[in-house]
Amino acid sequence: MILVLGGAGYIGSHMLKLLRETGESHLVFDNFEEGHREALLGSPYVQGDLRNRDDLRKLFADHPDIDVVMHFAAYIAVGESVEQPGKYFTNNTTAVIGLLEEMRAAGIGKFVFSSTAAIFGEPHYVPIDEAHPKDPTSPYGDSKLMVERILKAFDVAHGFKSVCLRYFNAAGADPENRIGEDHHPETHLIPVAILAAMGKKPSLKVFGTDYDTPDGTCVRDYIHVLDLAQAHLLAVKHLRAGGDSRQYNLGNGQGFTVRQVIDAVEHATGLKVPNEEAPRRAGDPAKLIASSDRIRADWGWNPQYGDLKVIVEHAWNWHKTHPEGYA
């Protein structure tokens, strides 16, 4: 059975959709601090906190059939991590150490970890491959890179096998429109642009218009949330087959400017996205694009929803029919 930590969140809930469709036995563990019970859609769950080892110990004792653990339970706001580093290191790093020890005590040695492109920091080159230098510029990125290093040490010491999947910009929503993105506050560009078009957010700020890009705005690599989920399923298959520990970058391999995202949102919604130019933000690279050549070659992973228009359309369908999110 697969244990999904943080399964009530944005990416975790889309992972559950795929697990239900493929008939994979699974269980959710979530404290519902950020996630939504409505996003589980019938998947079984246990409420508890990753930072509480007693909760974890009971969880593993009550469910001895768990053989793989997926981790989607991190705090993810880069700006907040700068303001509250202790919060991020406690939840994103220290709690994972306790989790790994409890997994070992329960005889579970397979782990799929949601990592992030933030471990790379300012890009030395694009597209960014797995060999790119790792120099995070935020406590959030540091907290994730620390876990990757801890997992490597656990493999050396205990034969603990893991797959780290480094996301760039998760986007989109369930094409069947039952689950979607509902963060509070929302900081991701595509939903922020949609909410601005709907009049639910103020005018969108375009930070920097003088970058060396086709239209002067930042370029980012957007990947559909269900394509991320598919990569996780491949990771489970690999680990269950006795595979070694791996680290992969996940992205479309192509980038889109902020202006292109705004245009795609206006095309999908038929609404104008109010926006205003603003100065560059410190630490915003001109381009962040992933190379996913390694996972494509090794596992045949291939994004099914690589078209920005499709990604935006799926996101719009969710927000249009759920204007208050899960509320």
pLDDT attached to residue 284: 79
Same domain flag for 105 and 17: yes
Q: Tell me if 240 sits within 8 A of 67, measured CB to CB.
A: yes
Side chain identity at 58, as an amino acid letter? K
Same domain flag for 85 and 231: yes
pLDDT grade for 254, boundaries at 50, 70 and 90 = confident
Task: Name the percent of the chain in helix, strand, coil, to the closest 5.
Answer: 40, 15, 40
pLDDT attached to residue 185: 87
Side chain identity at 223, as an amino acid letter? I
Q: What is the DSSP letter of 37?
A: G
Q: What is the mean pLDDT of residues 123-136?
A: 95
Q: What pTM was estimated for this model as a whole?
A: 0.95
Same domain flag for 16 and 138: yes
Asked if the model's pLDDT at residue 165 lies above 90, the reply is yes
Same domain flag for 204 and 227: no
Task: Look up the CATH number of the domain holding residue 312.
Answer: 3.90.25.10
Q: Can you say how many angstroms the Cα of residue 86 is from the centroid of all Cα atoms in its chain?
A: 21
Backbone angles phi, psi at 183, to 5 degrees: -100, 150
Same domain flag for 39 and 149: yes
What is the residue range of 18's domain? 2-171+222-250
Query: Is the peptide bond between 127 and the residue preceding it cis, with omega within 30 degrees of 0?
Result: yes
> Which sequence positions are flagged as catalytic?
140
pLDDT attached to residue 168: 86
Same domain flag for 199 and 238: no
Tell me: the pLDDT tens digits for 166-215?
998 999 999 999 999 999 888 899 999 999 999 999 899 999 999 999 99
Q: What is the mean pLDDT of residues 247-265?
A: 95
- What is the Cβ-side half-sphere exposure of residue 158, based on CA atoms within 13 angstroms? 17
Give the rounded percent of residues in the chain with a pLDDT score beyond 90. 91
Tokens of 134: 């790792």
Q: Tell me if 326 sits within 8 A of 39, measured CB to CB.
A: yes
